[in-house]
Amino acid sequence: MGEQRTVYLDNQATTAVDPRVVEAMLPYFGEKFGNAASRSHSYGWDAEAAVEEAREKVAGVIGAQSREIVFTSGATESDNLAVKGVAAFYRDKGQHIVTVATEHRAVLDPCRVLDKGGQARVTALKPESTGLVSAGQVAEAIGPDTVLVSVMHANNEIGVIQPIGEIAELCRSRGVLFHSDAAQSFGKLPLDVSGGGPDLVSVSGHKTYGPKGIGALYVRGRDPRVRLEQQMDGGGHERGMRSGTLNVPAIVGLGRAAELAAAEMEAEGERIAGLRTLLLERLVTELDLIEVNGDLEHRLPGNLNVSFGYVEGESLLMALKDVAVSSGSACTSASLEPSYVLAAIGVDREMAHSSLRFGIGRFNSADDIEYAACRVTAEVKRLRRLSPLYEKASHRALEKAGTDDATRHRPL
């Protein structure tokens, strides 16, 4: 009897480290073990050179200058440094921050802490049912004391891509700094800060086939020069913005991951988007009463968030032992409450509880998608057979839609 297959489709939670990244990192766990801050011998010089090379590679993905990249422990630290650092440095200019209700907790929680402590006044915009916010909404929220707008590039649960180019242009015209959490989009979507764009950008290694525990924050160096108050005191590393001995192996890994992503972004995006289309087609062909959450056009290539009517999401997850998916963000997966992201875009509680997030990535194949689709449809049908409410709802949907099967689903 063969070993049971398991298909990994949770690439918004984390990605596997690319073997090419591992290969680049290995020497820095061994013979190249120096501290990048040691300036008096070759071990330190070699480590510093590796860090600066990685800094250039990360900067190159978004059109930044290498000196504008600050290495952190991950996007959560980058978000905290951006939000708290701006709020503290520009406190005399104003205390108003504008963000979105569907942001990652790494942005929402620092904003909440600042608001609760009286260090900032926070406005969290409610997106449309598609998950999108507009530059017009941001414009209405900005006031004379607004110092920061924070809108993520692509949402970690529903994959929706926000119009950050338009928002950046608006913020620049109003003299307000703009931060974007690009943990999910870095190396997967084009982003160029050289001709505008956000003033601060958060990056995570483990969302881009790099190692965990490493990230970066882009901090615009001119026009305007962004200033931050450091949140970690120590040796004044990273131009005084982030003290602490640099994690050289992980930084090298992030640099290599960034280099690979930049080279393969277009082709990889097209292939992964094709796999997502295949998965969606299989689901809507086999199942009724399902809804796609979030805009399908403005979306990460590998993200698909679907609610299955009359199925309890946790029961479905438990049944899918051989398909690794999630019901929302990995950072809030211990909560029994439905996704706050889905709630913010108006998904009712029952449908929110029945949602699954599929994250398709670099190492997935068409065979993976076919297998996952078969398993999901089989388990949904099995669970629905146990629901006395499903049959009535299905009949009502058929009567309303007639015989046209395509109208039984949200337009795709």
**Per-residue model confidence as pLDDT tens digits over 285-337:** 999 999 999 999 999 999 999 999 999 999 999 999 999 999 864 454 455 67
Q: Could you tell me the pLDDT band of residue 180, with boundaries at 50, 70 and 90?
A: very high
Give the whole-angstrom CA distance, residue 360 versus residue 300: 10
3-state secondary structure of 83: helix
Give yes or no: residues 286 and 205 share one domain.
no
Domain-located, residue 272: yes
Strands 7-8 and 323-324: parallel
Please give the sequence-ordered ranges of beta strands (E in DSSP) within 220-309, or none if there are none.
290-292, 303-308
Task: Among 261, 290, 316, identify where a domain stops.
Answer: 261
Give yes or no: residues 106 and 139 share one domain.
yes
Give the whole-angstrom CA distance, residue 49 versus residue 42: 10
Give yes or no: residues 209 and 306 share one domain.
no
Give yes or no: residues 281 and 385 share one domain.
yes
Strands 200-204 and 215-219: antiparallel
Look up the CATH number of the domain holding residue 204. 3.40.640.10
Catalytic residue among 111, 171, 331, 374: 331
3-state secondary structure of 340: helix
What burial class does residue 118 get, using C-beta atoms within 10 Å of its C-beta: 0-12 exposed, 13-18 middle, 19+ buried?
exposed
Give yes or no: residues 106 and 209 share one domain.
yes
Q: Is the torsion defined by CA of 239, 243, 248, 252 positive or negative?
A: negative
Give yes or no: residues 107 and 252 share one domain.
yes
Task: Among 261, 294, 328, identify where a domain stops.
Answer: 261
Is 331 catalytic? The answer is yes
The pLDDT of residue 115: 97
Domain-located, residue 1: no
- DSSP codes of every residue in 216-250: EEEE--SSSPP----SS-SS-TGGGTS-S---HHH
Domain-located, residue 389: yes
The pLDDT of residue 412: 40
Q: Tokens at residue 175, please?
A: 């003299």
**Per-residue model confidence as pLDDT tens digits over 89-119:** 999 999 999 999 999 999 999 999 999 999 9
Give yes or no: residues 280 and 247 share one domain.
no
Length of the chain: 412
Give yes or no: residues 269 and 223 share one domain.
no
CB 183 within 8 A of CB 202: yes
Domain-located, residue 312: yes
**Per-residue model confidence as pLDDT tens digits over 333-385:** 455 678 999 999 999 999 999 999 999 999 999 999 999 999 999 999 999 99
Question: Which residue segment(s) compose the domain that 67 sits in?
Answer: 19-261
400: pLDDT strictly greater than 80: no
Over residues 272-279, mean pLDDT: 98
The pTM of this model reads 0.93
Domain-located, residue 60: yes
Instruction: Identify any residues that bridge with 161 across adjacent strands, giving them in sequence order.
Output: 154
134: pLDDT strictly greater than 50: yes
Task: Among 261, 289, 315, identify where a domain stops.
Answer: 261
Look up the CATH number of the domain holding residue 367. 3.90.1150.10
The pLDDT of residue 396: 74
The pLDDT of residue 406: 44
**Per-residue model confidence as pLDDT tens digits over 377-389:** 999 999 999 988 8
Which of 68-72, 81-85, 397-401 shows the lowest mean pLDDT across its residues?
397-401
Give yes or no: residues 287 and 225 share one domain.
no
Domain-located, residue 381: yes
Domain-located, residue 2: no
Give yes or no: residues 201 and 290 share one domain.
no
Q: What are phi and psi of 117, to 5 degrees?
A: -85, 0
Which of 3-7, 166-170, 308-312, 319-323 shows the lowest mean pLDDT across its residues?
3-7
Q: Per the structure, how many domains does the chain have?
A: 2
The pLDDT of residue 236: 82
209: pLDDT strictly greater than 80: yes
Give the whole-angstrom CA distance, residue 74 versus residue 203: 7
Please provide the average confidence, as pLDDT, over all residues in the chain.
93
CB 50 within 8 A of CB 251: yes
The pLDDT of residue 335: 55
The pLDDT of residue 318: 94
Over residues 24-49, mean pLDDT: 96
Over residues 227-234, mean pLDDT: 89
The pLDDT of residue 399: 67
Give yes or no: residues 255 and 293 share one domain.
no
Give yes or no: residues 297 and 209 share one domain.
no
